[in-house]
Amino acid sequence: MGAVEQLVTIAAVLLGALTTHVTNYAMERNRNRYQLLTRWDSKKLEAYEGYVDCVRACIFLAVELYEHKEGIRRSDRTEPEMNAEMAQAGRLRGRAFERIMLLAGDQVVEAAHQLNAAALQVDWQAQGKVSGVLKDWRERNRVVFREINEFHEAARQDLGVQGNVTGEKHPERDLLLPPSHRGSDGSPS
């Protein structure tokens, strides 16, 4: 074997080693990037579902307080107990909102702001901080549930989930009320 052939062989081995190293480096980098994205998507999903859970818990507590105060349905708990529970739920909702602010994309953050504002309107009417009649109460609840759907849409887009929760295939739904709270035509009274 001549010197030229030996140099060609050594160059081929070095080129193969360099190619293998570059390929492994690129694959490892992509794998790490994918793991990081997956980890953050998991954290985002936890934050999104936790926030919606907290919002809904506050709404249900507000409904209980409002119905008790208005004589629609009596509660076994006193108003101060319900107000204290609403305050605690509000703190948890605030903490969940902060997680959204840390992890979410711009559209999700904006949807969370809108949802938070609508949820506070429900809280405030239940607590008597804003005035309104039953019609206003129901409209505030309709708005907050529409904002929950908007939040869901933004979160789904942020997570890359296919499909929608609103639109043509999913028409807007009204509040679910027991028959005793409906008008003669079946609509909410």
Give residue 93's pLDDT: 98
Q: Which residues pair with 188 in a beta bridge?
A: 182
Which residues contact residue 74 at a Cβ distance below 8 angstroms, ignoring those fewer than 6 apart? 68
Residue 167 vs residue 91, higher pLDDT: 91
pLDDT of residue 54: 97
Contacts by residues 109-115 (CB-CB < 8 Å, ≥ 24 positions apart): 110/154, 111/147, 111/150, 111/151, 111/153, 111/154, 111/155, 112/51, 112/151, 114/147, 114/150, 114/151, 115/55, 115/144, 115/147, 115/148, 115/150, 115/151
Does position 187 have pLDDT exceeding 70, yes or no?
A: no
pTM of the predicted protein model:
0.73
Give 170's pLDDT tier (boundaries 50, 70, 90). low
Residue 59 CA neighbour count, 13 Å, CB half: 22
Closest among 64, 113, 112 to 86, alpha carbons compared: 64
Give per-residue pLDDT as tens, 32-48: 676 655 667 889 999 99
Residue 162 has a pLDDT of: 82
Mean pLDDT, the chain, as a whole number? Answer: 86
When mean pLDDT is compared across 60-69, 81-90, 155-164, the lowest value belongs to 155-164
Residue 147: how many other CB atoms lie within 10 Å: 20
The mean pLDDT of 92-97, rounded to a whole number, is 97
Instruction: Give the pLDDT of residue 168.
Output: 59
Given this model, what pLDDT does residue 63 score? 96
Instruction: Find the mean pLDDT for residues 99-117.
Output: 96
Task: Give the model confidence (pLDDT) of 128-167 as tens digits.
Answer: 999 999 999 999 999 999 999 999 999 999 998 887 766 6
